[in-house]
Structure 1
């Protein structure tokens, strides 16, 4: 229970600090140059993208629920967003990586506990993939470049459904960005869809 409260506290601290971190760049300074590795759409067709997302989510879920830390850590590292991903997705807001990184530390600390809780749901009956660009539900999609595919994965178990935070295609891989919606909410509106 203490770790769960700690993790929630860390996320609350991250959410509180983001507006401060995002406002540290003076208005007169020019934005940092965009990274050379751009967020590019996956080359596959849309159904193929959904299958790739399902596979990435299924592989992570399998490792997470294995109970083996030696499987959990590499699986998390493979799918979790990185500083390079943030710089690619939000080139004008790179300065808030430190705040995000602080929040992500809690995920690895609680990995074993989250794995056990997830395993309690039992076997996955199906995995549903929702194209968040087409569903139009989250407002944060308008703050990312239009060419970045964003999906949400919903794991359906015998008695419950669990939605996974968004998975997006960036830097040649499918990456998971916990709390992307909350973090993107503090970014200024972007009518030209440039970050």
Structure 2
């Protein structure tokens, strides 16, 4: 009798573990208000969120427009994201952590993917998942693709954060 009870208990525990593994988990949602840190990073209620699939120029990064005039492309990306996130009906969802302080999210405004819009407008580059939008931006020569720019990862390599902070402190 004890063996039957023990076997039933083990089956119950294993069944519960299997059910828990396949049970849908609630994905955390964020609906603002948002502070825009750069073209791919948001802050809400002290939580830093990173938009999936984007690589934004850094705030201090400069690019050349089609007319050859130097532009603050990092600041333009931040402004473009701020415009989109200021609209009604914004919802960001995600739960994957990039590091200890950032959650990877996708954001939608009234059903439109904010990341897709940012890449399609040429304000940021595709870092995974927005290949077609980036091809369209290149073909249309919009945003970064209208002129000359360093890819953000290359710019970061050439301008380590310590150099950026030191230059800002000198001004």
TMscore range, shorter length: under 0.3
TM-score, normalised to structure 1, is 0.24
TM-score, normalised to structure 2, is 0.27
Greater share of strand residues, 1 or 2? 2
Q: State the structure with bigger RCO (CA 8 A, min sep 6), 1 or 2.
A: 1
Radius of gyration: which is bigger? 2
Greater share of helix residues, 1 or 2? 1
